[in-house]
Structure 1
Amino acid sequence: MVRVPELDELTQARRLSEVEQMARELIALANDSRISDVDVTVTVEVHGLRDVIGEAMHIRQVREQAAQLEAEAQELSRHLASELSKADVPVRDIGIVLGVSYQRAHQLISH
């Protein structure tokens, strides 16, 4: 169910991805305006849960931070693997040092 509190009206959406459009259509119809002129802010309320959107945004931020850290770890791994290889450390030992398979160590050296 989609509730537009400013109009004290309800509409329906089958999926969360449809909520914004359905609300915009309802508001445009009620105000005799164009859909493109209507801005909405979607909040999600689930019985028993608080701040669903806020938690989802936090999860996205954490995922983004994790991706950045993973990219940094890969770059550092490539650098150390290259340095160890130049020092004639065997690929299998490089894998052990980095905590990766020897195949992955070989890939890191090859990049």
Structure 2
Amino acid sequence: MDVRFYRCSHCGNVAVKPYDAGVPLVCCGETMAELQANTVDAATEKHVPAVTVNGADVHVQVGEVEHPMLPEHHIAFVCLVTEKGYQTAQLAVDGAPVADFRVAEGDAPVKVYEYCNLHGLWSVRL
């Protein structure tokens, strides 16, 4: 399984599309643009998710070098994609750029995405 992410160029809303029925996502009266992971020229050491899997527990730190969490530059969310679905964690601007997930029995982590408000979508396949 994988998911797609879309962003509104007007208001900045980001939407997750786990299934494509062929109908475009619309926000502010216009079609939202699909985000492509790892395409922005930015410091990869601060954006690529660093993931630790310990049994059913998945710990994500954004970047090998911790990403800043400031109102003007922060990680908005982390998304864990598993074989059977996905989970998201919205991050607080004044918190750490980390997220913890628990995977259900019979499921397995596949990929992690994170979204930086300035540098877009980043991912790592597990």
Which structure has greater helix proportion?
Answer: 1
Structure with greater strand share of residues: 2
- The structure whose RCO (Cα within 8 Å, separation 6+) is larger is 2
- The TM-score by the shorter chain falls in which range? under 0.3
* Normalised TM-score (structure 1): 0.23
Give the number of the structure whose alpha-carbon radius of gyration is greater.
1
Under a length normalisation based on structure 2, what TM-score does the superposition of the two structures give?
0.21
